[in-house]
A and B are shown apart, each in its own frame.
Chain A
Amino acid sequence: MNQSFKQILIASLFALVVIISPASYAQSLDFAQLTVDEDVTPEERLAKKIELTVDALEKAEERVVEMRAQLEALEFEDETPELQLRDNLVTRTNEYSTFYNEKLTALTLALTIEEVDLIIDEIITYRETIYAPGAKEIIEFNLVYSYTPSVLTLADQRMENILKDVARLEGLELIEPSTFVSRTDEAQAILQKAHDLQTQAATLLIENFVTPTATSTLAIEFTEVPLEPEITPRLLAEQSLAEIKSLYELFIETGEKVTETLGIN
């Protein structure tokens, strides 16, 4: 009995070592600083380079497809600058896809390490000079028109549910009326501010699109909190999201206060 227990223990430890070790080892590696073993043949190097580049290109294409899907999921009125801007950005994602697919084809024809390196250099340069500035605009557009509104909708629903719960608890005389007035008022004010910031971000984004050189008329409104010198749609969207974060902290505090008041904790 004792002997079999020992055997099971040893087997379990061995299994643990086998399972955990590769993962820990992989985590400890610096991803970008893998070195080539000296005994690797040029053919193996070529194959590995191609494999890694193909992997990067496929991921890049997936990323572009995801961006395009997010843009196309947004609905705007016909003949509005928002729709026009969105369509421009969609066209841009198509150009990225074309480039990545061309490079994937080029890789299949590459026969030497030098040829592959040349392709890799082209991809890196393209991503730095063409893709990054364009992707920045796409991400900003999605941030303003997709992510922030979806988070705001969720916060709106939560606010509504909290207000309903507080009203019900007051109705049931489980909490004193007006105990939570200051908290709910503060929460509503934060939520409103988040909405305003998102609206301003959208306004500025379109303003910049219609008249790219125009300076923002919103600048005056933000002299109270000069977080950064330049006010951009992204900054406004980020501020809106930061408000939502603080709103949720307040929501959690309110929830805790309710349970404390009811004496159920």
Chain B
Amino acid sequence: MSPAAPLLEFQNLCFERNDVPLFDQLGGEVRSGEILQVSGANGAGKTTLLRVLATALRPTAGEIRWRGDPLPRSRSRYLTELVFLGHAPGFKSALSPRENLRWLGGLFTQRRETADTALAALGLAAWADVPCAQLSAGMLRRAALARLPLSDAALWILDEPLTALDRAGVGLVEELFRAHLNGGGGIIFSSHQPLTLPGVKRLELTGA
């Protein structure tokens, strides 16, 4: 582990589903303070790539390194420094956003900042105690994103974090991104929407 190593780098990444390659020979890296946007048509493999990078899926071939160390071996250290928000954020519909953040908080390293401040930062303070089943898609997305200010992780991997968000919500996310990048974190996210942040690196999936 050298200080100059990127947070996450991947080389020759290949993933096959039922022997059909979804993507092949992908490479890239995210350094401290960098943000990488994964784009591509529907079905191009954005979600799969993000899940591979988060170690939820095993790549067919290729190498992923966390802070310079190859991944399967450094996985436990990697997971303490990662937040992965997938399509389905794992929120229980019978529980309120606050209760959901609380149980997820037991699993991951968190700041002492309370769930209330995080929910307030995303404009959900009034809805903190309402069962998630009664929230709209956009509010659920905001509730899921409240995990970000709560987390202490260096790398965020976010699958379509802007889906269902209104314009104010997108603004809030950009603010969160900016603060995270300024603090030396890295972000990988998938979206079709362009962000107003400067210096967004792009990875276009075109299919293998």
Note whether A and B form a binding pair: no
List chain B positions with a Cβ less than 8 A from chain A.
none
List chain A positions with a Cβ less than 8 A from chain B.
none
